[in-house]
Amino acid sequence: MKQLRRWMLGLVVLVTALGLMALQPRATAQTPSAETPATLASAGLTLEELGDGIYGLIASVDFPPANPNLAICNGGIIIGSDGVVVIDPFQNEALGDLLFDTVATLTELPVKYVVNTHYHFDHTGGNPAAASRDLPILGRGPIRDFMLTRNGDRDPNITPPEVIIDGAWDLWLGERQVQIREFEGHSGGTDVIVYVPDADVLLTGDLLFNERFPYMADGNIRAWQASLAALIADYPTATVLPGHGPVTDVDGLEALKTYLNQLVALALDWKANGTTQAEAMTMALPAQYSTFKFQALYPGNLEVAYQQITLGQDDAASIQRYLAAQPKALQAL
Ligand SMILES: [Zn+2]
């Protein structure tokens, strides 16, 4: 009975927290005006050189962000000898404009392409800044459909890519090759990585959350584990810009792989012991991860592990059903 009461209390706290998260962006929403353009400081971003002519804009915010103009994800800039590729123009047009303004402080060369590493709103909501500059936006697979049908609550001005990547793509910026490669696991068939061979710099999108709990509601744990193993094997010496969190290298990829391995081991224990989902959800956050950001996502990680590993519901239709049942505030990150 005491156990039940504690569980009910936990549920009330969780539901209240989710309710607050859902309300927060609306309560503080303000339309960024031309008089108050975003700055790196106002967006909570720091500019970091990852390699010769390659930059990351690194977001430091926790989730949910305190205001809608703090960038949630990391952005990227790759400068070649005749043009520039930018990656993931953040979650709104003002932040997208900031990405292009930042390019202009680094080079006079024109931006030629914009890449969305996957469909989630925090990486694609800034696409209108690309569209207003008549730039081609590249994305993979079902990204148009996913953006149009799923991002409406978080992105009032959905602007999907009009160039669809299918298979391995290479862009050329003069002498510089930029490789775009497909990997599975985070976002239902829209994930790509971007790699610059001459500088050994890898931009993973959300296949890597570094020092943050990953968003997993439409991920596939087994596929994600396999992708991390492949990235570790394929890019063992690369400088790595994750989708969220500080710049890292193969150690960051190993750390997320370890986290997912631990989740799977836990979920297999639940299966062996006949643990109920309610019991599984009472798992305390492991001390090893106490300094990680995005702690609000941890209960969801447990739930996804229970669904996909304990119950074995990891087919695309089951994952889609699970995602659709999530509170709006927790759909797509
Ligand atoms: Zn993200």
**Residue-wise DSSP of 181-234:** EE--SSSSS--EEEEETTTTEEEEEEEEESSBPPP-TT--HHHHHHHHHHHHHH
**Ligand 1 centre and the CA of 146: distance in Å?**
14
pLDDT for the residue numbered 332: 66
Domains of the chain: 36-259 (3.60.15.10), 261-330 (no CATH)
- Please give the distance, rounded to the nearest whole angstrom, from the Cα atom of residue 276 to the centre of ligand 1: 30
CA of 310 to the centre of ligand 1 (A): 26
Taking the centre of ligand 1 as the mean of its atom positions, its distance from the CA of residue 244, in whole angstroms, is: 6
| Cross-strand pairs, 20 | none
> pLDDT tens-digit profile of 146-172?
999 999 888 889 999 999 999 999 999
- pLDDT value of residue 27: 36
Distance 84 CA to ligand 1 centre (A): 22
Burial class (CB in 10 A: 0-12, 13-18, 19+), 311: middle
The pLDDT score that the predictor gives to residue 327 is: 82
Query: How far does the centroid of ligand 1 lie from the alpha carbon of residue 175, in Å?
Result: 30
Residue with tokens 């043009």: 83
Q: How far is the CA of 10 from the centre of ligand 1 (A)?
A: 27
- SS3 annotation, 115-136: ECCCCCHHHHCCHHHHHCCCCC
For residues 267 and 275, what is the distance between their CA atoms, to the nearest angstrom? 9
Q: How far apart are CA 295 and CA 307, in angstroms?
A: 20
Å from CA of 167 to ligand 1 middle: 22
Nearest to 139 by CA among 157, 122, 124: 124
* pLDDT tens digits for range 214-272: 999 999 999 999 999 999 999 999 999 999 999 999 999 999 999 999 999 999 999 99
Which segments in the chain show pLDDT lower than 50? 1-35
Instruction: Output the CA 85–ligand 1 centroid distance in Å.
Output: 19
**275 Cα: distance to centroid of ligand 1 (angstroms):** 31
Question: What pLDDT sits at residue 73?
Answer: 97
